[in-house]
């Protein structure tokens, strides 16, 4: 917990303008700042990273398809020339609504308006062992760690003696049948088929198994039945073992156990089965939903406060009288950031309304699904739509060019050259706490 008495103000230029303080440089925060350019406010953003991450392509960094800096853009660069914007790299620790103050690891910042745009984090559903040993994929450092682990396991398999140990090193389990899980499993399957055999000719990749495990009855639960069915067909054609209606029970870093009684010996379990709101302590309990999301009204104002707002994954906005929240996806955050900027500019005529423009997922080269209103695309057509939409959504011309060149190279030559172990992966295992005995 932050010691308020030892906290000092973060150095920020003083101004007569009201200050909007934004926590998080994700999609929602990015759009809010962009649309407040030249507005009569001082706009301050804090984030523990100094860059914006294009999260939909994290799995391609993890599987060696893209360099990390292709999907990461420095926040200061994005807003170069925006005179009313100030950035501080800091980790938000505590909000004090009465003082109108945010406490961070580098000091405190006062605000007139506060916006939570802090996104989400991996939800392990209380499974401590899974949190300790599984590989998440929410940040660029996590994607780099996963890439290093995958490659290090292959290197170890080259000198491992027993077949069982080799299979434990090269078999991979992906938990979660949403877009991230589906796309990761597809990318791994293509690596197994087309790339890794050339790098490691001494390994028999016919013995490598890739599993995609989903608790529900179908993949891509938020998409159409056609998209789910075709995705399953595409993945099975790539050799992915799909387990539906199956839940992960435990994982100790060596064996994954499931509720159907089956076990998979593996050192690599990629967990993409759920996310939770990344909130910061300090708000009243009445402002928080039991899921952890911050309750907001039609103007994205946090329940119980007049000067605090929330956008994106962290915001619990309901369009059906509290029955369900909007999904935790980038388009929601983008539209909410744009709306809130209009609200601050006093140009919003009505409350926020989300326009669902569809959903899509890619499974591999020429394999994708897309639900675009009445149009349900699969295969090559969906794949090109997916590529175009993601390419245009990446921040910065340089990054778009780098991603396009990498995609084009892979499309023509089926080669991914970014299979580098930049830093060895080291899993941090928490030390067991000593039990005290009362006498």
* pLDDT in the model for residue 161: 83
* pLDDT in the model for residue 425: 82
Residue 181 exposure: Cα atoms within 13 Å on the Cβ side: 33
Rounded to whole angstroms, the Cα distance separating 83 from 160 reads 58
Q: Is the pLDDT of residue 241 over 90?
A: yes
Beta carbons of 158 and 254 less than 8 angstroms apart:
no
Q: Is the pLDDT of residue 422 over 90?
A: no
Task: Decide: helix, strand or coil at residue 178.
Answer: coil
* pLDDT in the model for residue 322: 62
Beta carbons of 176 and 97 less than 8 angstroms apart:
no
Q: What band does 435 get if pLDDT is binned at 50, 70 and 90?
A: very low
Which tokens is 152 given? 């290090």
**CB proximity list for 347: less than 8 A, separation 6 or greater:** none
DSSP string, 181-214: HHHHHHHHHHIIIIIHHHH-TTS-GGG--EEEE-
Q: Centre a 10 Å sphere on the Cβ of residue 407 and count the other Cβ atoms it contains.
A: 17
Packing angle between helix 397-413 and helix 380-393, nearest 10 degrees? 150
Percent of the chain with pLDDT over 90: 85
* pLDDT in the model for residue 314: 97
Rounded to whole angstroms, the Cα distance separating 302 from 307 reads 8
Q: What is the average pLDDT across 105-134?
A: 96
DSSP string, 99-165: TTEEEETTEEEE-SEEEE---EEE--TT-HHHHHHSB--SSHHHHHHHHHHHHHHHHHHTT--SHHH
* pLDDT in the model for residue 11: 96
Q: Is the pLDDT of residue 363 over 60?
A: yes
Q: Is the pLDDT of residue 436 over 90?
A: no
Q: Is the pLDDT of residue 117 over 60?
A: yes
Least confident residue range of 28-42, 213-227, 401-415:
401-415
Q: Let me know if 288 is exposed, middle or buried by CB neighbors in 10 A (0-12, 13-18, 19+).
A: middle
Instruction: Give pLDDT tens digits for 367-419.
Output: 999 999 899 999 999 999 999 999 999 998 999 999 999 898 888 877 666 67
Which tokens is 422 given? 């930049």
* pLDDT in the model for residue 328: 94
Instruction: Give pLDDT tens digits for 296-343.
Output: 999 999 999 999 999 999 999 987 666 689 999 999 999 999 999 999
Percent of the chain with pLDDT over 70: 95
Q: How far is CA 314 from CA 26, 72, 279, 288, 303, in A?
A: 11, 21, 7, 10, 13
Beta bridge pairs of residue 399:
none
Q: Is the pLDDT of residue 430 over 70?
A: no
Question: What is the SS3 string spanning 337-393?
Answer: HHHHHHHHCCCCCCCCCCCCCCEEEEEECCEEEEEECCEEEECHHHHHHHHHHHHHH
* pLDDT in the model for residue 212: 98
DSSP letter at 98 equals: T
- Mean pLDDT over the full length of the chain: 92
Q: Centre a 10 Å sphere on the Cβ of residue 391 and count the other Cβ atoms it contains.
A: 15
Q: Is the pLDDT of residue 10 over 60?
A: yes
Which tokens is 126 given? 């209380």
* pLDDT in the model for residue 417: 65
Beta carbons of 279 and 328 less than 8 angstroms apart:
no
Q: Whose structure tokens read 């802090």?
A: 118
């Amino acid at each position: 917990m932050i010691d308020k008495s030892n906290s000092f103000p973060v150095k920020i230029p003083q101004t007569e303008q009201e200050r909007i303080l934004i926590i998080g440089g994700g999609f929602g925060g990015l759009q809010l700042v962009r649309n407040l350019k030249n507005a009569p406010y001082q706009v301050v953003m804090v984030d523990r990273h100094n860059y914006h991450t294009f999260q939909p392509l994290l799995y391609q960094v993890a599987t060696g398809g893209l360099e990390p800096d292709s999907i990461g853009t420095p926040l200061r660069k994005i807003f170069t020339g925006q005179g009313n914007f100030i950035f501080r790299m800091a980790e938000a620790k505590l909000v004090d609504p009465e003082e109108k103050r945010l406490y961070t690891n580098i000091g405190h910042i006062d605000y007139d308006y506060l916006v939570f745009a802090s996104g989400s984090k991996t939800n392990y559903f209380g499974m401590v062992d899974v949190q300790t040993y599984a590989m998440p994929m929410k940040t660029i450092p996590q994607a780099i760690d996963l890439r290093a682990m995958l490659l290090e396991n292959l290197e170890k398999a080259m000198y491992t003696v027993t077949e069982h140990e080799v299979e434990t090193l090269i078999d991979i389990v992906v938990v979660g049948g949403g877009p991230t899980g589906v796309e990761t499993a597809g990318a791994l399957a293509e690596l197994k088929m087309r790339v890794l055999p050339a790098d490691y000719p001494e390994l028999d990749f016919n013995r490598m198994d890739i599993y995609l495990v989903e608790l529900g009855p179908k993949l891509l639960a938020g998409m159409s039945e056609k998209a789910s069915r075709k995705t399953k067909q595409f993945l099975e054609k790539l050799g992915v073992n799909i387990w539906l209606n199956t839940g992960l029970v435990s994982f100790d870093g060596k064996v994954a156990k499931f509720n159907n009684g089956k076990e998979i010996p593996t050192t690599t379990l990629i967990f993409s089965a759920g996310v939770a709101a990344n909130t910061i302590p300090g708000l009243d309990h009445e402002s928080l939903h039991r899921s952890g999301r911050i309750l907001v009204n039609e103007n994205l104002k946090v329940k119980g406060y007049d000067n605090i707002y929330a956008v994106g994954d962290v915001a619990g906005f309901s369009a059906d009288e509290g029955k369900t929240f909007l999904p935790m996806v980038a388009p929601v955050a983008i539209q909410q950031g744009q709306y809130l900027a209009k609200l601050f500019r006093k140009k919003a005529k009505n409350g926020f309304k989300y326009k669902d423009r569809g959903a899509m997922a890619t499974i591999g080269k020429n394999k994708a699904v897309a639900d675009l209103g009445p149009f349900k695309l699969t295969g090559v057509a969906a794949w090109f739509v997916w590529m175009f939409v993601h390419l245009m959504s990446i921040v910065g011309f340089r990054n778009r060019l780098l991603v396009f060149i990498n995609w084009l190279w892979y499309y023509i030559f089926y080669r991914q050259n970014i299979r580098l172990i930049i830093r060895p992966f080291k899993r941090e295992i928490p030390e067991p706490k000593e039990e005290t005995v009362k006498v």
